[in-house]
Amino acid sequence: MSSRCPYAHAAVVQPDPCTDYLALKEVAPVHRDEVLGVWFITGTEQVGELIRHPALSSAWPERGRTVLHDGADAANAGGRTADTVRRWFMFNDGTRHKTLRGLVAPLFSASRLARLRPFVEEQIDDMFTGRPGRIDVMADLAVPLSSRVICRVLGLPAEIAPRLEGWSQDIAALLVADYLPEVSRRGDLALSQIQHAVGAALGSPDLPPDSGLALLKKAQESGEADEADIEAIAGLIVYAGFETTSTFIGKALRSVLHAGAWRDLRSADPATAVEELLRFDTSVRQIARVATAPITLDGQRIEAGDLVLLMLGAANRDPGAFADPDALRLDRSIRKHLAFGQGQHYCLGAGLARMEVQIVIEKISRAWQDVRLVEPPTTRLHFGIPVLERLELEVS
């Protein structure tokens, strides 16, 4: 079950789909970019140590800046991105992070996911019904599935689902390129539109009583969180729940085709295959932290106030942690990887993402005996953020 074949399309030879960040492995695992003034951490051991380090804060939208922000408009002098984003529990530490995360943690419990599973299976079956011999993985599967599932989890009306893709792409750009006025404008608009949709759903008599928004509404009424935090949490789930899962579905199938491993996928254990696919092309390639005190690692000194990028994707391809890491082995037994982070900020929706992709693999590997790419995958840049836009397959 080991293969590293190029994309199977005529005579076209495509590079590793992760080649854009794998070059970082050629430098030291703790490396400072002197132009940007940012630290890049690429080694599995080093990322694992820093991701739990008490002197690294997740509140980089409030504290972390690069030289690109120094020349930006002073309107964001009080912090990067937007106030709503700075309220996301993933960008907070300590008690505040634990309290806000705890409000929605029940939505992603094993029992909740078990109750959600039939809905996911039903949606996938519906997408395959009457499907001709071609499918665009992103437009016909990954995007609609992820958006419908998140709307179901939160209790947003189904007609909101088609809007999640545009919102998420603009927010993703905001998290990286907020020094660009157009990115800030579009990101702020997306956040405000999400808040409007959330507010309308919270005030609706049709709000499902077991939904995420109903849970948040009770938390607000009991005084556990204020209105701004409720809107922020809902916005975070809309963005992170949709964007990371839809991206992973596309990347997972792209990786299988890149490696010429479709037959291996059909005979692989879905749970084992998902972990290897997460490692091979990590959906969230990097996370940021800002140092609150000096840290010495591998002979390098990170100063207080420095922005640190933990490169999860590169760390998951570290030859010191994984044998032959650039090969996709769908039967690889992985003790742990960094695709969902580690520690108290471990991805809250990891179980949901795993479940969705496992079901996708189970169903399509049974339904499709053979698959080939109609043309090489299409990736476009959305304000510098690579978006897997098209992955068209011919199936039998």
pLDDT at 9: 40
Burial class (CB in 10 A: 0-12, 13-18, 19+), 369: exposed
pLDDT at 378: 87
* AA letter at 96: R
Residue 5 scores a pLDDT above 50: no
Pull the structure tokens for residue 177: 């390129």
Partners of residue 288 on adjacent β-strands: 309
Beta-carbon contacts of residue 14 (< 8 Å; ≥ 6 apart): 6, 7, 258, 376
Burial class (CB in 10 A: 0-12, 13-18, 19+), 122: exposed
pLDDT higher at 282 or 115 = 115
pLDDT in tens, 37-91: 899 999 999 999 999 999 999 998 887 767 666 665 544 444 577 889 999 999 9
Place of tokens 């068209």: 392
pLDDT in tens, 230-251: 999 999 999 999 999 999 999 9
Partners of residue 3 on adjacent β-strands: 328
| Reported confidence tier of residue 212, pLDDT bands at 50, 70, 90 | very high
| Distance between CA atoms of residues 257 and 372, nearest Å | 8
Rounded to the nearest 5 percent, the helix, strand and coil shares of the chain are: 55, 15, 35
| Distance between CA atoms of residues 97 and 102, nearest Å | 8
Q: What is the mean pLDDT of residues 306-327?
A: 92
CB 363 within 8 A of CB 256: no
Residue 289 scores a pLDDT above 50: yes
| Reported confidence tier of residue 260, pLDDT bands at 50, 70, 90 | confident
| Distance between CA atoms of residues 165 and 239, nearest Å | 9
| Reported confidence tier of residue 12, pLDDT bands at 50, 70, 90 | very low
| Distance between CA atoms of residues 83 and 388, nearest Å | 29
pLDDT at 250: 94
pLDDT at 26: 77
pLDDT higher at 292 or 65 = 292
Other Cβ atoms less than 10 A from the Cβ of 22: the count is: 18
pLDDT at 71: 61
Beta strand residue intervals within 161-248, DSSP E = none
CB 131 within 8 A of CB 394: no
Residue 132 scores a pLDDT above 80: no
pLDDT in tens, 346-390: 999 999 999 999 999 999 988 888 888 888 888 888 887 888 899
Partners of residue 302 on adjacent β-strands: 295
Pull the structure tokens for residue 237: 């789930």
pLDDT at 177: 86
| Reported confidence tier of residue 128, pLDDT bands at 50, 70, 90 | confident
pTM comes to 0.90
CB 166 within 8 A of CB 190: yes
Q: What is the mean pLDDT of residues 305-325?
A: 93
Q: Which architecture, in CATH terms, is 2-395?
A: Orthogonal Bundle (1.10)
What does the mean pLDDT of the chain come to?
Answer: 88
Residue 338 scores a pLDDT above 50: yes
| Distance between CA atoms of residues 222 and 199, nearest Å | 18
